[in-house]
Structure 1
């Protein structure tokens, strides 16, 4: 092995080998274990959430592959309709053209061309993470087979009356000119205004004051609502007000939706432009006062690009002065006109949640349009029952409550999008508006006996990408064909995902799986937390705290990191702030940690359900862990290559240390199996780390040296065999978390341990064997460690040189202590660097000594000749005085309100940490001084 652990020298080489040899494909006849990757967007690149999620999935897949399951991790990407269309449109715009210059067919060809050339970024990055996906079965939501599945599902649901076309409110992006899902709408608090407007009573007796954050929508008001119990307005219910600037009269209605404490307690009801108002209108639309209005009160004032619509569509309801104005220009004009007419009461500053499209940053409008919908209530009932009866289990269990809350209040699903890239809706219209659904136009004509020249036009819309991804668990396995893969791997084993798409994806997969496969799509749903920065803040480009997993693997210099963080920002004014923060946080850039260290970091943070704070210091620590494992393997190889490792017919003898480390290995293996079953990868990582670092490396390798240096050849063979056997099994235990380093070391260790095989990833996962657990050896070696730690603690407290041999006296020991001393002399003398060990006669006076305890037994180290008491006290006094001088300065800062108010949070936190560190060190020095003073 190379002297230095260099992850880049091994990672790509091993991944290429694994993939080329087909190790990722399902193997054998074992029980199926299948995970479907949440398909990343074809436009995407790997972010920390992906890397975290994929580490968990890969660990599960590698574990079950080694357990003998017929294991499939299904690979694939989502066509990402809106995101992909935007990418390609930007390329076209750079040519000075638009998609309309190309036309639909040529534009779609352009998208496919882009996909072939540039759409594989994220799959290459998944390989860098060591993801053992079966790439030979990679699917794409727009490939031929999946497109057929989407079409078949649409047609079947339509024929059963579960898909329909209707006019309802949707989230509308006025830049993209399409409906978008709630998940594509980002709502953040912004500074705005609350305008208070006067709505005059039609009887001329006064006015109501209505408060709104969107005065432009008043042009579409159908009513003013008050709470039915509000004493201020009860007497006005059923009266009318004149809608300012329009001359229309609208009724005052009563509805529990109104909060009397908010604003004036009077709410304008604009049903075509507000989701809540739409619900109010739905409850009151049969009132003659509303039903008699044009459009029954449902007045759409906007065009697709959020300008004020022409009057031809609105029965001349809108004053001509506003027609054609952008919504925000219309807002300014309306405010000016209200003020001129004395109808503007006041304007207040107001913070409000503003919904913006995640792709464009444009303010989203609730918009009344014709769209295609899935009637979901009939599909939701069996999906709710599947979780209620335990056919699907959420981990952690509390997430089922979120699922139930959504599913029991479910609304019909808008599945149409007004773009060109995606699965085009298989519906055709004739000139009379009749709708015909089929696989193609020819089938429609034959089914409905329409002549070849009968005019038909296909629907221009495409399906929401969540529609195709809802079919992912069975469409990827070949459905609607009844393939062997479908029979073997459906239902899948577990879905690994974040809580934010429980409704958008998880619930829809359950509904579709039960509908089309008559079975749940997965047996468990593991909900993981979100990756946040070290301070617990959400990672976002605008905050400048985003980390790129590939940068952590490869490393990145400061200047490149700065350029990367500020490029393409939606808020360019934040660039200077982000550059400053980046230079402060990473003055030397980000070092290269390698994939294994990053994966181990993610695993160590993966407790069930909680968000995780990602701290680079932990990754650095796990890079050191990998290095520790590497150096331990080099030591083992140096002592076992070209040696008799106990595999011959020669006599073999095991030391207590050999029996102890083997026992601890099997205890650790047992714990790892339990924790993987509970998805507690944090505890798996902790168990592997503590066994590797604290027991195998720090203790066993040192204890083993004593056997290797003995004259007993049988004992040497036993220890060499144990060194290899434990290391080889440890590598297999750790492989699902850190696949590259474990493969590299295993290839060298396995032959020496008598293990045959091409790769560690197809070796059996170690199983705990209770017969290998020797409780006597565990007790004895634990006693030895406590003994040695006691003597080391005395060395540290008394400032005795590490290499100075210490005489030890023992007192108050029982029969077991005496037997352990007798059996462990070599360990105690060599690892403790002791000159001698003697039991103190009861009749001999106890010398002036430092004392440590092992159970009831006292370890005495006489201080005579070991330390200069006066000199040591003087040294300690000097250190104590230094800290006592420094502490008041820090405490003064932290008690100064000006410092607390003005200093950045990270500066304050560092001062607090420094204060805690000094206080702890001072306490240790005072305790040490007291011990020496009493000698």
Structure 2
């Protein structure tokens, strides 16, 4: 053996050998009847390994290997998510670079192009997990767009329809003007933006108040949305506006007469304390408008430009419309002032286009009834989040859960199993129906929308095992045991797996959820390629080896966000080298594996090993990984 441990050749050789021998496969070498199951959170099919994947993979691998060593029938289920908007965005960028677009290509050709892209560049991340030493059952790799998985998704949708939980309605959504689709909250990235706060005066429609005040001044960063105003709101306890409540004001530029209303959701400290209400373009305004029975007026279109309701400004960009309205305010002595204003603006995670809150006709899943069994399971601790603070958050998430917008205006994904006939009847069926379920017409057109990516991900623990078919694997490996992920998808993934598992399988998909820490850059900022703060775990593995990287990540793991510390990786490299040298010594001395300790020193060493094993296993039982690797280091070096 080499005197200095060189991990790369050793790790690659043994990873390949153990996988070729089938040692990672479910059911291999089990000595007890109990199973132990973890489903890897399915990464994007076009994604690359990042530090979050590496940390989560290390945590899960510890638990899987520990149970495998103890004779459990272990399944660590790998696979990919089709990642609707992320994958579509990659291909759309390619088309733009080629001087064309998906609309010019057409839907069928575009989907074929996506599949071709995936064949060429997709599904690489599992190979990167191998570089990390992850002992998944790679023979069972699944994809959310596999034919069998599509059956699962369509069956689930029809089940929800039959339960009466699906409906179509106009609601305000996060709208990406570039992709022209609604997106989830997780796909919205908030960026700090330097803007201007415009103070505009809305004059009273019937003349000044008794004290001579002739109007109300509001503050807005989006003058173009003034065209969609349907009210001005003030806080009911704000003495400045007590006499104005119930009066009407005139909306600048358009002269629309709108009421002054009182609502406790208005922040008296922001701007002037008076809020323009534009239900068509602001979530809070939409809620206030719904409470007060105000009309919804949309003046910005799906492409982000002013629409026909904007009158003479139709077709303009919002920036150009802002300038036109500002000019009008100046001309009519209605512009009090403008001041610099820095605020957080939502942008699309993929294309960085500014998100437009828009009222859009979407399909929704009512959540009041389906959430109840899952909420009870959390309250009764039949499923537990770790750490405890995240368990409380998971409960609050269910208590406050809104109805779920499940439709997306994309082309890549699971197309809704809904068909419309010329009479407007809706047929929900799978396999595709031959005729309208209501009138028998065979002239059917399928809904063009696809499902939210998280809709299919919610089925991951049992769809990967063959559901809706009653397979041997489903009987053997469902329910599972542990799920591990980041806190930002508790609402989007973890909680949804819980309620869908109870709804479709009658059992919880797992009993414990580990919410791991987020690893930040060494300076405390988030890791980001665009910020130049990203650290590629594959680079770390190339420098220090997989075992050292895994050790360091486990050492850094915490219930709080942590800064990346290369010193922890170095510590792991030293430990690996020390164990290598111990192995060299044992082999050189030809120590028998069955040799029993005889001297006091040998018995002391064995006692230390037993005590450390107990300490390590106790830490793993409570999903506390940093103390476990620290104990191993102390055993080796102290």
- One of 237, 241, 260 as aligned partner of 1:233: 241
Partner residue in 1 for 2:301: 303
1:522-921 superposed matches below 5 A = 522-554=510-542, 592-607=543-558, 609-640=559-590, 645=592, 654-694=598-638
Using the alignment, how far apart are the partners of 1:264 and 1:653 within structure 2?
81
Q: Measure how far apart 1:518 and its partner are.
A: 1.2
User: Displacement of 1:538 after TM fit?
Assistant: 1.6
Give the structure 2 partner of residue 730 of structure 1.
Answer: none
CA distance in 2, matches of 1:272, 1:612: 40
In 1: Cα distance, 2:153 partner to 2:355 partner = 28
Asked if residue 381 in structure 1 is aligned to residue 372 in structure 2, the reply is yes
Q: Distance in 1 between matches of 2:485 and 2:205?
A: 56
Paired position in structure 2 for 1:25: 25
Q: Equivalent of 1:319, from 294, 308, 311?
A: 311
The answer for the alignment partner of 2:387 in structure 1 is: 396
The aligned residue for residue 798 of structure 1 is: none
> 1:284 aligned to 2:292?
yes
Residue 653 (structure 1) shift: 7.7
CA distance in 1 between counterparts of 2:612 and 2:631 reads 6
Structure 1 residues 439 and 638, CA gap change in structure 2 (3 angstroms): same
1:46-86 superposed Cα distances (whole Å, 9 cap, x missing partner)? 00011001100011111111111110001110000111111
Deviation of 1:100 after TM superposition, in Å, equals 2.6
C-alpha distance in 1 between matches for 2:618 and 2:151 = 42
Instruction: Determine if contact 2:435/2:441 at 8 Å carries over to the other structure.
Output: no
Do 1:302 and 1:309's aligned partners in 2 also have CA atoms closer than 8 Å?
yes
Answering whether residue 468 of structure 2 is matched by residue 518 of structure 1, we say: no
Query: Which deviations, in whole Å up to 9, do the C-alpha atoms of 1:296-339 show, x marking residues without a partner?
Result: x20011111111111xxx4xxx331x110011221122112211
User: What is the CA distance between 1:243 and its match in structure 2?
Assistant: 0.6
Higher deviation after alignment, 237-246 or 326-335:
326-335
SS of aligned partner of 1:171:
strand
More deviation, 434-443/6-15: 434-443
- Indicate how the Cα distance of structure 1 residues 440 and 477 shifts in structure 2: closer, same or farther if over 3 A, else same: closer
**Once the two structures are superposed, what CA deviation does each residue of 1:375-406 show, in whole Å capped at 9, x if it has no partner?**
01111111110011111011112212111222
Tell me, what secondary structure is at the counterpart of 1:198? strand
Deviation at 1:470, TM superposition (A): 0.6
Query: 1:246 is matched with which residue: 239, 247, 254?
Result: 254
User: 1:623-653 deviations in whole A, cap 9, x for unaligned?
Assistant: 1221121122212222227xxx4969xxx88
Q: Using a 3 Å threshold, how does the CA distance of structure 1 residues 443 and 131 change in structure 2: closer, same or farther?
A: farther
* Residue of structure 1 aligned with 2:57, choices 54, 59, 63: 54
**CA separation of 1:647 and 1:196: change in aligned 2, threshold 3 A:** closer
Find the residue that maps to 1:172 and give its secondary structure: strand
Partner of 2:11: 11
The superposition leaves residues 533-592 of structure 1 with CA deviations (integer Å, 9 ceiling, x where unpaired) of 2233221224322100001111xxxxxxxxxxxxxxxxxxxxxxxxxxxxxxxxxxxxx1
Partners of 1:543 and 1:42 in 2: CA distance:
24
Cα distance between partner residues in 2 of 1:353 and 1:123: 36
Q: CA separation in 2, counterparts of 1:336 and 1:432?
A: 48
Residue 487 in 1 paired to residue 475 in 2?
yes
Distance 2:598 2:435 in 1: 80
CA distance in 1: counterparts of 2:484 and 2:184, whole angstroms = 22
Distance 2:155 2:511 in 1: 25
Shift of 1:358: 0.6
Q: Which has the larger radius of gyration?
A: 1
What is the alpha-carbon distance in structure 2 between the residues aligned to residue 423 and residue 647 of structure 1? 57
Secondary structure (helix, strand or coil) at the match of 1:515 reads: helix
| Contact residue 437 and residue 444 of structure 1 kept, 8 A | no
Instruction: Check conservation: 1:438, 1:444, Cα contact below 8 A.
Output: no
Deviation at 1:341, TM superposition (A): 1.6
Deviations 1:198-254 (A, max 9, x none): 101111221110111111111111100011111111121111001111021000011
Q: TM-score, normalised by structure 2?
A: 0.96
Report the equivalent of 1:458: 446
Does the Cα contact within 8 Å between 1:258 and 1:267 map onto a contact in 2?
A: yes
> For 1:469-515, what per-residue CA distance to the aligned partner results, in whole angstroms no more than 9, with x for missing partners?
01111111110011111111111101101111110111111111111
* 8 A contact 2:556–2:568 mirrored in 1: no
Q: Deviations over 1:18-61 (max 9, x none)?
A: 22111111123520100011000011100001100110001111
Work out which of the residue numbers 126, 143, 165 in structure 2 matches 1:162.
165
Distance 2:163 2:17 in 1: 50
**How big is the shift at 1:263?**
1.0
Deviation at residue 260 of structure 1 after TM alignment = 1.5
**Is the partner of 2:65 in helix, strand or coil?**
helix
Q: Is the 8 A contact 2:555 2:568 kept in 1?
A: no
> 2:473, 2:180 → 1: CA distance?
40
Contact 1:226 1:233 in 2 (8 A): yes
User: In the alignment, does 2:265 pair up with 1:265?
Assistant: no
Take 2:563 and 2:578, find their aligned partners in 1: how far apart are those partners? 25
Which residue of the partner structure matches residue 211 of structure 2? none
Residue-by-residue CA offset, 1:871-919 (whole Å, 9 max, x unaligned): xxxxxxxxxxxxxxxxxxxxxxxxxxxxxxxxxxxxxxxxxxxxxxxxx
Distance 2:560 2:16 in 1: 34
Task: Please state whether the residue corresponding to 1:299 is helix, strand or coil.
Answer: coil
- Measured in 2, the distance between the counterparts of 1:34 and 1:375 equals 31
Residue 71 of structure 2 aligns with which residue?
68
Displacement of 1:449 in angstroms is: 5.5
Aligned residues: 630
Measured on the aligned residues, the alpha-carbon RMSD in Å equals 1.6
Deviation readout 1:278-312 (Å, 9 max, x if unpaired): 11011100xxxx4xxxxxx20011111111111xx
Structure-2 change in CA distance of 1:160 and 1:617 (3 Å)? same
CA 1:395–1:646: 2 relative to 1, 3 Å: closer
Deviation at 1:677, TM superposition (A): 0.3
Maintained 8 Å contact 2:421/2:441: no
CA contact (8 A) 2:224 2:318 kept: yes
Give the TM-score of the pair, scaled to structure 1: 0.66
For the 8 Å contact 1:418–1:462, the answer to whether it is kept is yes
Instruction: For structure 2, list consecutive stretches of 5 or more residues without a partner in the other structure.
Output: 209-213
Query: Mapping of 1:129-278 within 5 angstroms?
Result: 129-205=132-208, 206-278=214-286
Structure 1 residue 440: Cα displacement: 4.3
Q: What is the CA–CA distance in structure 2 between the aligned matches of 1:495 and 1:2, rounded to whole Å?
A: 39
Task: Show the counterpart of 1:433.
Answer: 424
Contact 2:176 2:353 in 1 (8 A): yes
Distance 1:477 1:448 in 2: 35
CA deviation string 1:804-846 (max 9, x = no partner): xxxxxxxxxxxxxxxxxxxxxxxxxxxxxxxxxxxxxxxxxxx
Instruction: Tell me what 1:722 maps to.
Output: none
Shift of 1:92: 2.9
Distance 1:32 1:646 in 2: 29
- In structure 2, what is the equivalent of residue 867 of structure 1? none
Q: What's the CA shift string for 1:650-670, capped at 9, x where partnerless?
A: xx8821111111111111111
Q: Which runs of 5+ in 1 are unaligned?
A: 291-296, 555-591, 695-935
Choose the corresponding residue for 2:92, options 86, 89, 106.
Answer: 89
**Equivalent residues of 1:375, 1:412 under 8 A apart:** yes
Is the helix fraction higher in 1 or 2? Answer: 1
Equivalent position SS for 1:543: coil
Report which stretch shifted further, 12-21 or 124-133: 12-21
Aligned to 1:132, what secondary structure does the other structure show?
coil
Which structure would you say has the larger RCO, counting Cα contacts within 8 Å and 6 or more residues apart?
2
**Aligned-pair distance for 1:444?**
4.4
Paired position in structure 2 for 1:294: none
